[in-house]
Every structure is written in C-alpha cells, then in structure tokens.
Structure 1
Amino acid sequence: MEQQTINNIAEICHQQGIEKAIISPGSRNAPLTLAFARYPKIQCYSISDERSAAFISMGIAQADRKPVAIICTSGSAALNYAPAIAEAYFQEIPLVVITADRPPEWIDQWDGQTIRQENIYGKHVKKSFNIAVDLSHADAQWQTYRIINEAVLESKTGVKGPVHVNIPFREPFYPEKNENWQYDHDIKIIENIAGEKRLNENQINELQTALKEKEKIAFVLGQDNYSEEFLSTLDQTSQQLNIPIFADVISNGHSLKNAIHLPDSICMSMIKHSKAEEIPDLIISFGKSIISKNLKLFLRKNIKTQWHVRNHHAFISDPFQALSKQIEAEPISFLQHLNANFSAEFLKLWKDKNREAETKTNQFLSTQSFSEFSALNELLKKLPSNSHLHLANSLSVRYANFIGIKQDGVKIWANRGTSGIDGSTSTAVGHAVTEKNKNHFLITGDVAFFYDRNAFWHKYPYSNLKIILLNNQGGSIFRMIKGPNQQAELEEFFETEQRLDAKSLCSEFGIAHFSAHNSESFETIKEKFLKYPQSAVLEIKTDAKNNQQLFEDFKNKLIS
C-alpha cells in the first residue's frame, strides 16, 4: 500500500471543493479514513450505519450546494449506500462515493467481506472508476490522481450527481507508529471551465414565433434547488406576461405571486371533465418531478405541447407525454427572452380556482375533530419564516401538498428522486447538522421514522430539528389507495401494522418527546413543542380508519 498516494486523494478532493466527508468505520478503508480524518481542511463525520451515512451526506450536500465524500469499507457496506445513491442520482446531488475493496485476486474466493464491487451502482451513478491495486509505479499514481480529479469534477459539472471510486487494498492497512505523514499541496489539479448556455438569435426568433400562436401559457415548476435569482425572475416574468405557475409543495414556488400552489386539489375534479378555457395551449416546465398526481393526469390527458428548459439534460424526460422541445439553456436567460403577452383571463381563471380550493380546504379542516390531517394543518400554519421543512414520503408529503404552505421563507425538501421512505430522517439530520442557524422541521410517518432510526446514532450535536411524527400504527396510505384497501391482506401485508411509539427512542438518543392523542392534549403541547429550545419529537397518535374516512370526506368536499 502507498499511503502517500492515498493521502493525496484527500488533498485533491479538498482542492476540488470537497469540505466535508462522511466515514463509516471499517478496517479495509483504514488508509482512506486516516487520510481524510487527518487532513485539517476537511471536516469528517463518523456515521456507523452506511445506509444512514449516505443519506446524511446527501442532506449536507444539499445544504452546502457542494459535493460531499462518503467513505466505507468493503462488502455489504458498499451495498448499503445504494438507496441514497439512487436518490442522489435522480435528485442530481453531488456525492463522491469512495469504497474500499478487496484485491482482485480474492474476489469470488470465499474471502470475508468480499463482493463484486466494480460498477456496483450500475446506472445510478454518473461514472464509476476502479483504482489500481498496486500504486507503487509513478504511472499508477498519475492515473489515480487523474481519476480523483475527474470524479470530483464529474459530480459537480453539468447534471450533478453521485460518482463512484472503488479502491482495492492489500494488507497492511495501518501506518507504522512513527511513519512520516504528509500531503502534497502542489499536487496536480485539473480545472473545468464552462460558460453559460445561451440561445442564439435564430433560436430565440424561432421560439418567439411559436409563442405568437399560443394564447394560454402555464409554467410548471418541478422540484429543484432553485436559486433566489431564478425564482425572482420567474415571478416577474409570470406577472408581466399573465402566466400561472403550477407550483406544488415540493417546488418551493408557494411565495410566487401567480403560484397555483394547490394543483392537486384543483385538478381532482378536472381529470374526467375539463373545459377548453381551462387547458393551456403550451406548458413550459422547469426542474424535475412534481408530486401532484391529479395535475399529472390532467396534463397527460389534455396537453399537446410542452417545452422543458434546463441548463443540462441527463436524459429525455416526458412525464406528461407532450414534450416537443427540450431547451438546453440557462433558465434565467430563457425567461428574459419571453416578450409575448398572454391571456389575462386564463390567469384569472386558475387563480380563482386556487382561491376556491384554499377556501374549501380551510373550511373543511377548521370543522374537523382531531386527526393527523387537521393537526398537521394547525402546525403548518405556525411554522416560523426562514425555516426548512423536510417532508417524508407517502402520506406526509401528500398531506402537506393538499394543505399548502403560505409563509415566505419556508424552504421545502423531500426525497422525491426515488420517493422511498428510507433516509428521510437521515437527510433532514444532515441538513440540521450543516445549517445550524436555521430551524428545521421534519414531517414523517411512523414506518419511515422507525425504519430510519439510526439517523440519530452519532455523536454530532444539533438542537435545531423538530420532528412531527404521524403515528397511526402502520403505513396507512394503503388504506387510501384503491386496490390495497380492498384486499383481505391489507392490515398484515400492506399496512404492516406496528405498535411502537417514539418515547423510548427519544429517551435513548436524548431527544425531547411530546405526545398528543386528542384535541385537548394537542392544544396543550403544540406551542410548547414549537417553542422548545432543543430538538424534539411531537408524536401525533391517531386511528388509521378515522384518518381514512376523514381524507375521503376531504376529497369529496373538494369536488363538490
């Protein structure tokens, strides 16, 4: 083993912009652990559970808008990274995944902690690299440094995302007691210089000509980590040109003046029956996925033309089955070239529908007895401005989407790349540990919460994360989906009934615990929970069958 070469991997990572690394304990990765932990300019965290570690690193990378290195030992440790890597790939979050491996001669030889790690993440990483096992030759060192340069650049260039570097090690792994330890600060660093993508004059004229044929235009804002400059430009453009913005909860467009922030509620009654004046002639979309299923179905059924605008495209995505132009340009520059004037009546129609949906939602929830839906409505109204709201998948993010967010300055995060329940808490913890000057709130269901309990299993302090736990003793979203809710196996094999509560877990990890099971207990503790100066869990205990009936009544109210 050439420890100096491994040390220089940490040096290159830092000089390429990596400031933080998440390391999971192991022996085979000891040379990497020591190289990064001893490097003074990289902040390292030790997280024992690799599955949680990878999601925490994702939260850190989101918060910092910079790539994060994650390092693990060989064998199943590397496989435990896979859920977060897939999520990071589809969310376009830059991670540099460095896995230690056994030397090639021991693969398939029944040796401990030995699996087939080369290209282990398949098509869920941007690129995968394998380092030579013998680094004694100068050319092997040159190749290693070139690969590390390329890996970090690849993670943060163009369409961002995870990149995998697999490094096999032979024993010995540990340096001698008095071994010289240093880093080559003048190591070769490869720069990538890329300019902004802008449309040329002919392309602009072509688009403007096409727009003149359209009367009703709508923007669709998907999930993305948008800059304030882009959102401000979008806001101004939509007001100047009379364009509604379909912006569901994960888009972070709720504060825009022309935002249609309850599209799921509005489109519920429009899927089967919609009028010509309600249908856009063209939608122009930004970002990635939307969560509003009813909006998706409405657009798929009715829209004939979609333009999608992004700086870079990893692949062609046509979720509404109407894509006609994939425009590769800086979105702010694209918006500045829109100079037509579209139907003010169309904008008014959709804003009226949004107000009507908001009124019906408020009327319904204000008259309901205690439930997880009504309790969540109360808590969302009281979120402080300038805070981060993390939404776990299944019912949590859907409830929030139907209720909507009104406060300026509340930023929404959700793992909607693969939309799995695994890692929602860990991702929020990664954010909270990184942005300690912000208030963080996580809304999660019981299955997601207990599944990811190792998010709390580390020594790094944070006092700024409050968790709203909807505990209905199982995955009750399946009660609300036609299909599983009609099966005799619902409770055992779909809902997966469980009887845990969070009190013991909170005690184990030193987190304050609040509990509410009816209106009286909820009213007593909700303000205490929101004002509590440390991290805390508010566990809202409800009955799944009652929640199901209330949600059905709510949907009937929307279409009445």
Structure 2
Amino acid sequence: MEQQIINNIAEICHQHGIEKAIISPGSRNAPLTLAFARHPKIQCYSISDERSAAFIGMGMAQADRKTVALICTSGSAALNYAPAIAEAYFQEIPLLIITADRPPEWIDQWDGQTIRQENIYGKHVKKSFNLPVDLTHKDAQHQTYRFVNEAIIESSSNVHGPVHINIPFREPFYPEKDAPWKYDNEVPLIKKFSGTKSLLTSEIKSIQDELKQYSKIAIVLGQEQYENEFLIELDHITQKLNIPIYADIISNGHRLKNAIHFTDTIGLRILKEGNHDLIPELVISFGKSIISKNLKLFLRKNVNTQWHIKEHNAFIADPFQAITKQIEINPQYFLAVLNKESSQQFLKDWKDQNDQVSTITNKFLATQKFNEFSILADLIDKIPDKSNLHLANSLSVRYANFIGLKNRTAIKVWANRGTSGIDGSTSSAVGHAISKEKEAHYLITGDVAFFYDRNAFWHKYPYPNLKIILLNNHGGSIFRMIKGPKEQQELEEFFETEQRLEAKNLCNEFGIAHFTAEDEESFNTIKDRFISYPQSALLEIKSDSKINQKIFEDFKNQFKS
C-alpha cells in the first residue's frame, strides 16, 4: 500500500474544490480515512451508518452546490450507499463515492467483507472507475491520478451527478506510528473549461415561427435549483406575455406573480369537469419532476405539444407523453427567445381557479377538528421567512402541496423527489442543517419515514438550527388514501404497517427537545414555543389515521363533486 498516492488523491480532491468528506468507519478504507481526515483543507465527518452517511453527504452537496466525497469500507457498506446514490443521480447532485475494496485475488473466495464492487452502482452513477491494486509503478500512479481527476470533473460537468471510484487495498493499511506525512502540492491536475450552449439564428427563427400558432401557452416549473436571475427574468417575461406557471411546492416557484400554486387540486377539479378553456396548446417545461399527480394526468390526457428546456440532459424525459422538442440551451437564454403572448383570458382562467381553490382550501382547513392536515397548514403558516422547508416523501410532501406556500416568497423547499423514497429524508435535512448552520431548517415528516431513518442523528455533529414536525399516526397512513390498498383486507398489517413507536425516547437519546400535541388545546399551547425554540426540537403530532383519512377525502371530494 502506497500511502503517499492515497494522500495525493485527497490533495487532488482539495485542488478541485472538494471541501467536505463523509467517512464511515472501517479498516479496509483506513488509508483513505487518514488521507482525508488529516488534510488541513477538507472538513471530514464520521457517520457510522453508510445509508444515512450517503444521504447526509447528498444533503450537503445539494446545499453547497459542490461535490462532496463519500468514503466507506468494503462489502455491504458500499451497497448501503445505493439509495442515496440513486436519489443523487436523478436529482443531479454531485457526489464522489470512494469505496475501499478487497484485492481481485480474493473476490469470490469466501473472504470476509468481500463482494463484487466493480461497477456496483450500475447505471445510477455517471461513471465508474476501478483503480489498480498495485500503485508502485509510475504508469499505475499516472492512471490513478487521471481517473481521480476525471471522476471529480465528471461529477460536476454538464448533467451533475454521482461518480464512483473503487480502490482495492492489500494489507498493511496503516502507516508506522512516526512515519512521515505530507501532501504533494504539485499533484497532476486536469481542469475542464466549457462554454454555455446557445441556439443558431436559424433555430431561434424556427422556434419563434412555431410560437405564432399558439394562443394558450403554459409553463411547467419542475424541481430544480434555479438561479435567482432566471426566476427574476421568468417572473418578468411571463407577466409580460400573460403566461401561467404551473408551480407546485417543490418547484420553489411560489414567489412568481403568475404562479399557479394549487396545481394538484386544480388538476383534480378540471379532470372531473373537463374544462377545455384551461387546456394549453403548448406546454414549455423547465427542470425535472413535479409532485402534482392530478396536473400530470390532466396534461397527459389533453396536451399534444410540449417543449422541454434544459441545457444538459441525461435522457429524454416525457412525463406528459407530449414532448416534441428538447431544447438544450441555458434556460435564461431561452427566455430571450420567448416572444409570443399567450391569451389574457387563458391566464385569467387559471388565476381564477387558483384563487377559488385557495379560498375553499383555507375555509375547509379552518373548520376541521384536530387532524394532521389542518395542523400542518397552521404550522407551515408560522414557519419564519428565509427558512428551509424539507418535505419527507409519502403524505408529508402531498399534504404540503395541497396546502401550498402561497406568497411565502423567502422560504426554500427541498424534497427527495429523484426516486421519491422515504429512506433518507431526515438524513438529507440533517446534511443541509449541518452545512448551512446559519440558516433555519424545518422538516415535515411522517412516522414511518422518520423512524426508518433514525440514524440520521447518530453522530456528534450539532444541528441546533433544525426543527422536526413529526406526523405520528402510527402507520403508513397514505395507504388509507389510495384507491386499491384501502379496499383490501390486508390494509392494516401489510400496507399501513401499524407501529406503536413514539419519538420521546429518541429525542432523549440525541438531545432533541420534544413537544407533543394530541388535541387542539395542547397544540395551541405549544406551537409558538416550538417554532421559536432556540435549539433543535421535535413536535410530535399524534392523531388518528382514520380521522385523517376521512378529512383528507372530504377535502378532495369538494373538488370532485
């Protein structure tokens, strides 16, 4: 084992701008652990649970918009990274995954902590590199440095995403006690420079000529880390051209004047009514996924022409089954090309729908007895401006989308909607909170997602700026809301999966202040104190899943009838 070569890998990472590394303890990865932990310019965090570690690192990379390194030992440790890697791949978050491996002669030989790690993440990483096991020859060293350079560049080039480096190690793993230690400032470094994509004059003319035939144009804003300059220009151009913007909660488009916030509820309403005046002739989409299922169904059923605008694409995504143009250009540049006014009446019709739904929603929520949907609306309204709102998957993100942020322009929303799994929602929020320690963070989560990811707190790093709103209805209540599982006799045991856990003991273990609300009176007593509490805190909302089900169904039925 050539420790100096491994030290130089850490130095290359530093010189490429990697500032943070998440390390899970192990022996096979000891050379990497020492190289990164001793580097004076890389902040390292020790997180024992690899699944949680990867989501925490992903949250940091998302918050900082920089590549974060993940380092683990061999065997199943590497497999535990997989959920976060898949999420990062589809959310386009840059990660550098470095896994220690056994040498090739021991693969498939019943040796401990030995699995088949080469290309272990398959198509869920942008690229995978397997380093040579013998690094003594200068050509092997040159290849190693080239691979590391290429991996880091790849993580943040074009479509950002995770990249994997697998390093087989033979013993010994540890240097002698007083062995000299250094980092080579003159390590081989490869830099990449690339320009911004633009359109040819002929392509611009073709787009503008086709725009002339459409009188009802709408924009879909999917999940993306949009530049502020783009949102400002989008706000300006859509007001000028009378274009409605379908902006559900994960789009962070709630600040825009023409934003249609209640996309899911309106979609539910117009699917039932079949209002042809609200059907766009052209949909122009930005970003990635949307949460609003009913809007998706409405567009899928009625729209024939969609243009998707994104500078770099890993694949052609066609969620509305209507895509006719994939325009690869900087989104802000495209706005300069967009010169066709949409119908004023079309915009007015959508805004009227938005206002009507807002009024009905507020009135409904204000008149219900104690339940998690109404309580959540109250709490979201109290979250301070300039906070980060993290939404766990399953019911939490859906509730929030139906409630909406309306004009809460300074709140930024985050959600793991790449794969939409529940597995790392808390860990991702913790990564954000640690990374952006001067900002306030609020996580809304259900009990199954929360307890599934309890190891998000199993480390020594403080997160006094994180508050958690836990909807504890003692099971996966979303299955009561879905046609299909709710009608099956196996609902409670195999779909809802009833559990009796409470968060108080967990909070005691990890030093989190615990608040509980079981009825209207207790909630009103503690809600303001929870929101303003100066340290990390958790508010556990205990409610009846059957009451929650009925209230949510009553809410949606208003728009179906």
- Range class of TM-score, shorter chain: over 0.9
Contact kept, 8 Å, 1:361 with 1:558, in 2: the verdict is: no
Unmatched segments (≥5 aa) in structure 1: none
Q: Which residue of 1 aligns with 2:531?
A: 530
Q: Which residue of 2 aligns with 1:76?
A: 76
* Cα distance, 1:52 vs structure 2: 0.2
- 1:445 counterpart letter in structure 2: G
* Cα distance, 1:337 vs structure 2: 1.4
* Cα distance, 1:177 vs structure 2: 1.2
CA deviations over 1:360-386 (Å, ceiling 9, x no partner):
000100000110001000001111110
Q: Which residue of 2 aligns with 1:542?
A: 543
CA deviations over 1:122-153 (Å, ceiling 9, x no partner):
00000000000000000000000000000000
What secondary structure is seen at the aligned counterpart in 2 of 1:354? helix
What are the within-5 Å matches in structure 2 for residues 153-302 of structure 1? 153-302=153-302
What are the within-5 Å matches in structure 2 for residues 60-459 of structure 1? 60-406=60-406, 407-459=408-460
What secondary structure is seen at the aligned counterpart in 2 of 1:314? coil
What secondary structure is seen at the aligned counterpart in 2 of 1:533? coil
- 1:100 counterpart letter in structure 2: A
* Cα distance, 1:277 vs structure 2: 1.6
- 2:232 counterpart letter in structure 1: S
What secondary structure is seen at the aligned counterpart in 2 of 1:479? helix
Contact kept, 8 Å, 1:127 with 1:164, in 2: the verdict is: yes
What secondary structure is seen at the aligned counterpart in 2 of 1:4? helix
- 2:75 counterpart letter in structure 1: G
| CA distance, structure 2, for counterparts of residue 140 and residue 527 of structure 1 | 61
| CA distance, structure 2, for counterparts of residue 354 and residue 200 of structure 1 | 38
| CA distance, structure 2, for counterparts of residue 558 and residue 395 of structure 1 | 19
Q: Which residue of 2 aligns with 1:559?
A: 560
Between the two proteins, the alignment pairs up a number of residues equal to: 560
What secondary structure is seen at the aligned counterpart in 2 of 1:271? helix
| CA distance, structure 1, for counterparts of residue 271 and residue 277 of structure 2 | 14
| CA distance, structure 2, for counterparts of residue 56 and residue 30 of structure 1 | 21
- 1:153 counterpart letter in structure 2: I
| CA distance, structure 2, for counterparts of residue 199 and residue 354 of structure 1 | 35
What secondary structure is seen at the aligned counterpart in 2 of 1:513? strand
Normalised to the residue count of structure 2, the TM-score between the two structures is: 0.99
| CA distance, structure 2, for counterparts of residue 275 and residue 513 of structure 1 | 48
CA deviations over 1:307-344 (Å, ceiling 9, x no partner):
00001010000000000000000000000111122211
* Cα distance, 1:200 vs structure 2: 1.3
Bigger drift between 29-38 and 332-341 goes to 332-341
| CA distance, structure 1, for counterparts of residue 272 and residue 555 of structure 2 | 19
- 1:127 counterpart letter in structure 2: K
| CA distance, structure 1, for counterparts of residue 197 and residue 350 of structure 2 | 33
* Cα distance, 1:182 vs structure 2: 0.7
| CA distance, structure 1, for counterparts of residue 476 and residue 340 of structure 2 | 48
| CA distance, structure 2, for counterparts of residue 277 and residue 525 of structure 1 | 46
What are the within-5 Å matches in structure 2 for residues 3-42 of structure 1? 3-42=3-42
CA deviations over 1:278-320 (Å, ceiling 9, x no partner):
1100000000000000000000000000000001010000000
* Cα distance, 1:437 vs structure 2: 1.0
- 1:75 counterpart letter in structure 2: G
Could you list the structure 1 runs, at least 4 aligned residues long, displaced by more than 6 angstroms after superposition.
none
- 2:188 counterpart letter in structure 1: K
* Cα distance, 1:159 vs structure 2: 0.2
Normalised to the residue count of structure 1, the TM-score between the two structures is: 0.99
CA deviations over 1:34-81 (Å, ceiling 9, x no partner):
000000000000000000000000000011000000000000000000
CA deviations over 1:6-49 (Å, ceiling 9, x no partner):
00000001111100000000000000000000000000000000
* Cα distance, 1:92 vs structure 2: 0.3
| CA distance, structure 2, for counterparts of residue 198 and residue 139 of structure 1 | 40
- 2:47 counterpart letter in structure 1: I
- 2:525 counterpart letter in structure 1: T
| CA distance, structure 1, for counterparts of residue 15 and residue 272 of structure 2 | 56
Contact kept, 8 Å, 2:159 with 2:312, in 1: the verdict is: yes
What secondary structure is seen at the aligned counterpart in 2 of 1:108? coil
| CA distance, structure 2, for counterparts of residue 402 and residue 513 of structure 1 | 27
Contact kept, 8 Å, 1:279 with 1:303, in 2: the verdict is: yes
* Cα distance, 1:272 vs structure 2: 4.2
| CA distance, structure 2, for counterparts of residue 148 and residue 404 of structure 1 | 43
What secondary structure is seen at the aligned counterpart in 2 of 1:500? coil
Bigger drift between 281-290 and 225-234 goes to 225-234
| CA distance, structure 1, for counterparts of residue 519 and residue 178 of structure 2 | 64
What secondary structure is seen at the aligned counterpart in 1 of 2:271? coil
Contact kept, 8 Å, 2:272 with 2:560, in 1: the verdict is: no
% identity of equivalent residues: 71
Q: Which residue of 2 aligns with 1:507?
A: 508
- 1:522 counterpart letter in structure 2: F
Unmatched segments (≥5 aa) in structure 2: none
